[in-house]
Amino acid sequence: MPRTKGDHEARRRDVSEAVWRVLAAHGFGGLTLRAVAAELGATTGLLTHYFPAKRDLVAHALDLLAERTAARPRRPATPGLAAVRAALLDILPLTADAIASNRIWVSSWDTALADPALSDDYARKYARGRARLTDLIAAAQDLGELPPGDPARLAAGAQSFTLGLVVQALFDPATFPPPRQVELLDDYLASLTPPP
């Protein structure tokens, strides 16, 4: 039976799923053709068809991470402080999927910091995240739900707080279960909005 385009795409999806599972379990440091082949139940020979070199495998892993992050579910929220809160909750490792993708993000920092071009790419990515957050914060300020002040500066603080909470929660999920993460984020947001 001849191979169809559908077969080919299904196989690519299987390969991507296997790469993702290896990353979630072992991080970028454990990402090898051999590990992906074992996860897929295939030969490393088959995988060299997709990834002629280790750097092709790493590039695919980084693409997957970017795609899955872009496609992750977002909490709906009305504009204002609720939208700021929702955007920060969307980042935290509160579900199994969000734990896996955050664990892979944190793991990717080693690879990214070692490569100047990739490091610049990450810097731009975080700058875009801060810019989106800045818009949400400015809208909350317009509604009087956050005090006046440079919204970009508040966004830089909020992004720092959230990223650091991600790291803490990944290393110590027993101390930082989802309700605790939400409580700490709400403390942080409350500190930005002192009582009138």
**Interaction site with its own copies (CB under 8 A):** 25-30, 103, 106-114, 119, 122-123, 126-127, 153-154, 156-157, 159-168, 170-172, 174-176, 183-184, 187-188, 191-192, 194-195
- Residue 104 to residue 170: CA distance in whole angstroms: 10
**Cβ atoms of residues 118 and 112 within 8 Å:** yes
Rounded least distance, CB 44 to its own copies, Å: 20
Rounded least distance, CB 21 to its own copies, Å: 14
- Residue 121 to residue 130: CA distance in whole angstroms: 14
Residues with Cβ < 8 Å from 73, sequence gap 6 or more?
90
**Closer residue to its own copies, CB minimum distance, 42 or 170:** 170
Please state, in angstroms and as integers, the Cα–Cα distance from residue 123 to each residue in 19, 73, 161, following that order: 24, 23, 17
**Closer residue to its own copies, CB minimum distance, 67 or 120:** 120
- Residue 182 to residue 85: CA distance in whole angstroms: 10
**Closer residue to its own copies, CB minimum distance, 11 or 26:** 26
Rounded least distance, CB 39 to its own copies, Å: 15
**Closer residue to its own copies, CB minimum distance, 42 or 167:** 167
Rounded least distance, CB 59 to its own copies, Å: 14
Alpha helix locations (H) across the chain?
Answer: 5-26, 33-40, 44-50, 54-70, 81-91, 96-113, 116-142, 151-171, 178-192
**Closer residue to its own copies, CB minimum distance, 16 or 159:** 159
Please state, in angstroms and as integers, the Cα–Cα distance from residue 152 to each residue in 23, 112, 130, 158, following that order: 33, 25, 7, 10
